Amino acid sequence: MSDIASRDLRQAVSGNRGMLRVANLTARAVGFVLVGVFTFAAHGPGTADVAVQIAVFTVTAVLMVVWALADRPATSGGRYAFLLPYVLGAITVMCGVASATPGGGNFIVLSVIAALSAGSGTSLAAGWIVVGLGVAAIEAAGLALGATAWVTVEYPGYLLVALLMGFNRRTHRVRADQSAALLAKSERLREEQAAVAALEERARIAREIHDVLAHSLGALGVHIQLTRAVLTDRNDVAQAVERLDQAHRMAADGLSETRRAVQALRGETLPLPEGLERLSADHRLRHDARVTFEVKGVPRPLPPDAGLALARIAQEALVNTAKHAPNQPVEMRLDYADADTSLVVVNPLGGDGDREGGLATANAGYGLTGMRERLLLLDGTLSAGRNGNDWVVMAKVPR
């Protein structure tokens, strides 16, 4: 869900709450007016009961205004929210007393509305206290005025039912608020995950650009400088041409590697066995060295990052072999085990048997040290070193 959609949802929820509050205020006002109309239209003037009912009705009108101020949302400056339990309690008690008077039964409607609001808008304890006071007022007034069982039994039951309905309403509102908060939290988490994914993708592209272009362009620059030195210092055209041929091959190899990197970023890499077979054939033709390639186990698809890392490690191992042990045979094995996929490259040590740096090559960012960093990101491992008279490079990635 986008930021605009989330903002629209929050605005819709806020708008619905505002409309619900207006509807509640309207319902209270209509109920209040109807209670007055039906109560006072049925009585003649001058009786004591009517005087009590008029007094209760007048005070209730004032309390209804205070009630409207007290239940304003906190975001709208609800400074009088602390008065809400007291207002509801007063309305419940006074209207309960009035409902026990002769002809004042309609006042129980206002007590029920107050009890409902106490259950949904105040604490659990406050709601029970409000209804408890209302029940006590009805019972006391009913006993004092000799009210019927309908008043002393049914009216308190109405208040209890209204209180329970208020509790249920509050539960639903709390769940709705929690759902809205959870939605907002999940939206923030989704945005953070998207940002992390974008950063990881940028880092991945940066690694590919660095590993391919930095190596190719750096090596190409060195060969151009050597060619210039050969021409200016020695005037050796034949060697200069050979250097230029090597630079041309490096440029072609760099272009091929760039294409393969772009394909890997798009998830369009060749199957790993096919790619390693091609590397073996290229090394065989270019360096006139025997290369054997073997696949053990049942080949299975690998994630693009894992396949590319193993292919780069094989390429770097072959480059090191050509540099440190030229014309030596190379054995390459790709093993699909149950727990991982491993690549092993073995070649006899040539005259340069100590391979200074172990895992380093001419370009530290592109060598096996850089490949080890790649494998660490994939929870893989890389080792390279002497094993008797052989040099062994082994890389593993999880299945």
Residue by residue, DSSP assigns 343-388 as EEEEEE--S-TT-TTSS--SSTTTSHHHHHHHHHHTT-EEEEEEET
List beta partners, residue 291.
Answer: 330
Average the pLDDT over each of 181-190, 351-360, 378-387 and give the range with the smallest value: 351-360
CA distance 334 to 302: 13
Which residues, 6 or more positions from 60, have their beta carbon under 8 angstroms from its beta carbon? 32, 91, 94, 95, 110
Predicted confidence at residue 93, as pLDDT, reads 95
CA distance 391 to 385: 6
CATH 3.30.565.10 matches 270-350+362-398 = yes
Task: Say whether pLDDT at 263 is over 60.
Answer: yes
Average pLDDT, stretch 185-192? 87
- What's the pTM? 0.48
Contact between 389 and 331 (Cβ < 8 Å): no
Judge residue 30's burial from the number of C-beta atoms within 10 Å of its C-beta, 0-12 exposed, 13-18 middle, 19 or more buried.
exposed
Place of tokens 């001058």: 46
Compute the Cα dihedral for 275, 279, 285, 286 and give only its sign: positive
Q: How confident is the model at residue 265 (pLDDT cuts 50, 70, 90)?
A: low
Q: How confident is the model at residue 364 (pLDDT cuts 50, 70, 90)?
A: very low
- Whole-angstrom CA distances from 234 to 192, 226, 246 are 61, 11, 19
Contact between 60 and 95 (Cβ < 8 Å): yes
Share of the chain above pLDDT 90, in %: 30
Which residues, 6 or more positions from 183, have their beta carbon under 8 angstroms from its beta carbon? 6, 9
Predicted confidence at residue 177, as pLDDT, reads 80
Predicted confidence at residue 114, as pLDDT, reads 94
Task: Work out the mean pLDDT of the chain and round it to a whole number.
Answer: 81
Task: Say whether pLDDT at 334 is over 60.
Answer: yes
CA distance 297 to 338: 9
Predicted confidence at residue 308, as pLDDT, reads 80
Residue 106 DSSP code: G
More confident residue, 363 or 202: 202
197-265 CATH: 1.20.5
Contact between 330 and 292 (Cβ < 8 Å): yes
Average pLDDT, stretch 228-232? 83
CA distance 160 to 139: 14
CA distance 44 to 59: 21
Residues 25-84 have pLDDT tens digits of: 898 899 999 999 988 886 655 566 788 899 999 999 999 999 988 887 655 546 778 889
Which residues, 6 or more positions from 270, have their beta carbon under 8 angstroms from its beta carbon? 278
**How many distinct helices (H) and strands (E) make up the chain?**
12, 5
Contact between 366 and 329 (Cβ < 8 Å): no
Task: Say whether pLDDT at 338 is over 50.
Answer: yes
* b/e map 246-285, b = 16+ CB within 10 Å: ebeebeebbeebeebbeebbeeebeebeebbbebbeebbe
Among 42, 46, 26, CA closest to 107? 42
Domains of the chain, by residue range, sit at 1-188, 197-265, 270-350+362-398
User: Two tokens at 44?
Assistant: 């003649």
Average pLDDT, stretch 347-355? 65
Which residues, 6 or more positions from 263, have their beta carbon under 8 angstroms from its beta carbon? 269
Residues 130-152 have pLDDT tens digits of: 999 999 999 999 988 888 888 88
